[in-house]
Copies of this chain bind each other. A is one copy, B any other.
Amino acid sequence: MTLEEQQDRVRASFDKQGLMATLGASLETVLPGKVEIALTPRPAVSQQHGFVHAGAVSAIADSAAGYAALSLMPAGTGVLTTEFKINLLSPATGDRIIARGQVVKAGRTLTLAQAEVFAQTGREERLVAFLTATLMSIEGREGISD
């Protein structure tokens, strides 16, 4: 696949993730093995103290890691997260939250990817979360592609 085809593939899949639209998340950069997803803090994605909820942070971090993995897989292959761990280092607040996913090691069946999540306030950027995820590639299973 060309870079443009890879980007189209990830974008088409992202657009099918209803949760991303519900959270107001946007797909930013798509490069081979690297994907960025952004989210604007607001009450609709908050936990009880007003910070962005760990579940919303996890959602964009998991998608960024998963799409980083998908971007390296052959056409027709789908991807499912089998597990992830996220360390929440500091409250997620600021102008914008951005999750930067990248592949750590691509395997035939299992791929390890990570995502660093930053909170941006003005020009400043703080690391607020760190995720590692195992992605399983799926071929020929009904309903699972890209």
In contact, A17 and B48 (Cβ under 8 angstroms): yes
In contact, A82 and B47 (Cβ under 8 angstroms): no
Is A6 among interface residues, defined by CB-CB distance under 8 A? no
Interface of chain A residues 3 through 23 with chain B (CB within 8 A): 13-14, 16-19, 21-23
In contact, B82 and A87 (Cβ under 8 angstroms): yes
In contact, A84 and B18 (Cβ under 8 angstroms): no
Is A110 among interface residues, defined by CB-CB distance under 8 A? yes
- B55, B80, B105, B136: the one contacting A55 at CB < 8 Å is B55
A84 CB to nearest chain B CB (Å): 6
Give the interface size bracket for A toward B.
35 or more
**Which residue of the partner chain B has the closest CB to A106?**
B89
Is A104 among interface residues, defined by CB-CB distance under 8 A? yes
* Chain B neighbourhood of A105, CB < 8 A: 89-90, 127, 130
Given contact pairs A17-B47, A44-B22, A55-B58, A83 touches B78 in the complex (Cβ within 8 A): no
CA distance A42 to B21 in the complex (A): 13
Residue pairs across A and B with Cβ atoms less than 8 A apart, 14 shown, are A16-B46, A17-B46, A19-B53, A22-B44, A22-B45, A54-B59, A56-B59, A58-B59, A58-B84, A82-B134, A84-B85, A85-B132, A104-B130, A109-B109
